[in-house]
């Protein structure tokens, strides 16, 4: 077996760090405009990041770019290390400016950004420099769609390996259908992402937010990240218009971007025939109606429009794992805790920025379970699971079952581990599921009204691990811990 291509890993990570350094400059320009005191620190951070990236790219400059030279070992390690390095160097603006003096908290904040988890350790968000606010939101915008997919789309340096990168970055059912046109599809998805960001900004800006708040919240909404410039999140603005606009943006963020691209370029409603999308809409509708009826019936809220708007906003924020809040749903009662935990498990669609296990997998599991009952009645009949008329292969079904098993097992094990760090039973379960699903809010003191400042250093580092595993959909990261994966 061939030798491990370490030059490919170094060169790829170096290029990504150089791109991150350029992204930091956008935050510096924001700081220049508002004349805040973190600008120098951001310029310094950008320089350090760029020089480190250039050095790594130089060390790996002689890599073989032909696809045959690169296996999943290199790709999985590259993707995992890339996210770790992006988060690591993303801490520099926070540390060098002194805005977050603790490395643990700064790394936690940075990883929450790049994985679009949205958790935070900040106790006074309003006191944060505007340039760093922008950087927090920008990390979510970068991480939401995946900087690696952006690189695949616009930098041909990855050549024939782009399909393998897509596997590592966004594993799922749709990948087999996408691979033949991977470069074209990822470029179209990236352009759709950019277009939605621009249009969303102007719609949000038309409300009570100023241009700065509108830009930050647009990036957080479309990336389904959840970072806000206000401690009270969206509730601070007390604007029904803003809530509706952000709800729409979160909904788009949880939708397959190829469906959005197809809809707006062909102006065809055929996208409504897409099975996963129909499930997505149905889940949101059922939870919204159910929660609205319960809130009105129990007297927790009054006023139909206000109740529907609040329920819809929180349901979409949960299903898309955005993590914005207009209320603390924990105050409604324990039944709502269970509903929100259920919503953040399967979440949005394949090809979206949302976290969780994805609705497509829920569709396959549901249909597969139904077939078990059918085969009990007709054991000799030949049944196949289909989505959108396409047969799901047995290998894909097996991979989905393995994925769900690993996902739920890791969430359960993590809840036990976190309980030893001082978290209560409900807090450990909520935080575990929330972190691996990239939602941001947990339960108890880590709910919508709390922060993660009180978590132990071990808990924060472990949660960053969960965020990374969830963001890269389990197999990419966990494969690195399997000895057989590295055998020559």
User: Tell me: the pLDDT tens digits for 334-343?
Assistant: 899 999 999 9
Beta bridge partners of 391: 386
Whether 387 is in a domain gets the answer: no
**pLDDT higher at 250 or 127:** 250
Supply 68's token pair: 């045959």
- Please state which of the ranges 237-251, 260-274, 320-334, 458-472 shows the lowest mean pLDDT: 260-274
Inter-axis angle of helices 359-377 and 394-419, nearest 10 = 120
Q: Of all helices (H) and strands (E), which one includes residue 298?
A: helix 275-298
**pLDDT higher at 366 or 488:** 366
- For the chain, the average pLDDT equals 87
Whether 461 is in a domain gets the answer: yes
pLDDT category of residue 138 using cuts at 50, 70 and 90? very high
Whether 463 is in a domain gets the answer: yes
User: Is the pLDDT confidence value at 420 over 60?
Assistant: yes
Residue entry with tokens 């990036």: 219
User: What is the Cα–Cα distance from 380 to 375, expressed in whole angstroms?
Assistant: 7
User: Is the pLDDT confidence value at 219 over 80?
Assistant: yes
Whether 109 is in a domain gets the answer: no
Question: Structural domain tally of the chain?
Answer: 1
- 447 in the Ramachandran plot: left (φ > 0), alpha (ψ -120 to 50) or beta? beta
Per the structure, the complete domain to which residue 448 belongs is given by 396-486
Give the largest CA-CA distance in the chain: 74
- Please state which of the ranges 7-11, 146-150, 253-257, 397-401 shows the lowest mean pLDDT: 146-150
Whether 409 is in a domain gets the answer: yes
pLDDT at 152: 55
Whether 421 is in a domain gets the answer: yes
Whether 437 is in a domain gets the answer: yes
pLDDT at 76: 85
Whether 61 is in a domain gets the answer: no
User: What is the Cα–Cα distance from 100 to 108, expressed in whole angstroms?
Assistant: 11
Average pLDDT over residues 394-403: 86
Beta bridge partners of 386: 391
Q: What is the pTM of this model?
A: 0.91
Q: What is the pLDDT of residues 352-375, one digit of tens each?
A: 889 889 998 999 889 888 888 887
pLDDT at 70: 72
């Amino acid at each position: 077996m061939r030798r491990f291509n370490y030059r490919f890993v170094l060169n790829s990570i170096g290029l990504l760090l150089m791109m991150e350094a350029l992204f930091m400059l956008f935050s510096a320009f924001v700081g220049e405009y508002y004349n805040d005191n973190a600008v120098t620190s951001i310029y310094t951070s950008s320089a350090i990041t760029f020089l480190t990236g250039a050095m790594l790219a130089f060390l790996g400059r002689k890599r073989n770019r032909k696809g045959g030279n690169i296996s999943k070992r290199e790709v999985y390690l590259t993707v995992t290390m890339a996210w770790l390095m992006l988060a690591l160097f993303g801490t520099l603006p926070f540390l060098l400016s002194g805005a977050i003096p603790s490395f643990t908290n700064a790394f936690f904040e940075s990883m929450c950004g790049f994985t679009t988890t949205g958790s935070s350790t900040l106790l006074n968000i309003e006191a944060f420099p505007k340039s760093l606010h922008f950087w927090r939101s920008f990390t979510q915008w970068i991480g939401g769609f995946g900087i690696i997919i952006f690189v695949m789309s616009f930098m041909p340096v990855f050549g024939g390996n782009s399909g393998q990168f897509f596997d590592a970055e966004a594993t799922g059912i749709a990948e087999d259908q996408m691979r033949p046109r991977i470069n074209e599809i990822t470029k179209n998805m990236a352009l759709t992402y950019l277009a939605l960001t621009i249009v969303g900004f102007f719609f949000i800006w038309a409300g009570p937010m100023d241009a700065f708040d509108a830009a930050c919240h647009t990036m957080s909404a479309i990336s389904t990240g959840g970072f806000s410039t206000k401690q009270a999140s969206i509730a601070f603005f007390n604007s029904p218009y803003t809530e509706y606009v952000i709800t729409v943006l979160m909904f788009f963020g949880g939708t397959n971007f190829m469906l959005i691209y197809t809809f707006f370029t062909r102006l065809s409603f055929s996208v409504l025939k897409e099975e996963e999308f129909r499930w997505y809409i149905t889940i949101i509708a059922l939870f919204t109606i159910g929660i609205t009826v319960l809130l009105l019936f129990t007297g927790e809220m009054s006023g139909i429009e206000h109740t529907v708007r609040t329920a819809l906003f929180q349901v979409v924020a949960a299903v898309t794992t955005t993590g914005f809040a207009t209320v603390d749903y924990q105050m409604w009662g324990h039944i709502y805790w269970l509903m929100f935990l259920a919503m953040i498990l399967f979440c949005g669609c394949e090809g979206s920025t949302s976290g969780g296990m994805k609705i497509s997998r829920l569709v396959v599991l549901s249909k597969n379970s139904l077939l078990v009952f059918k085969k009990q009645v007709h054991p000799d009949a030949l049944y196949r699971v289909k989505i959108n008329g396409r047969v799901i292969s047995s290998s894909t079904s097996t991979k989905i079952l393995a994925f769900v098993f690993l996902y739920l097992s890791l969430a359960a094990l993590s809840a036990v581990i976190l309980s030893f760090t001082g978290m209560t039973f409900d807090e450990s379960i909520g935080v575990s599921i929330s972190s691996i699903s990239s939602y941001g809010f947990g339960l108890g003191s880590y709910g919508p009204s709390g922060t993660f400042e009180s978590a132990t250093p071990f808990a924060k580092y472990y949660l960053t691990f969960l965020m990374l595993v969830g963001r890269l959909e389990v197999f990419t990261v966990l494969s690195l811990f399997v000895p057989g994966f590295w055998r020559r």
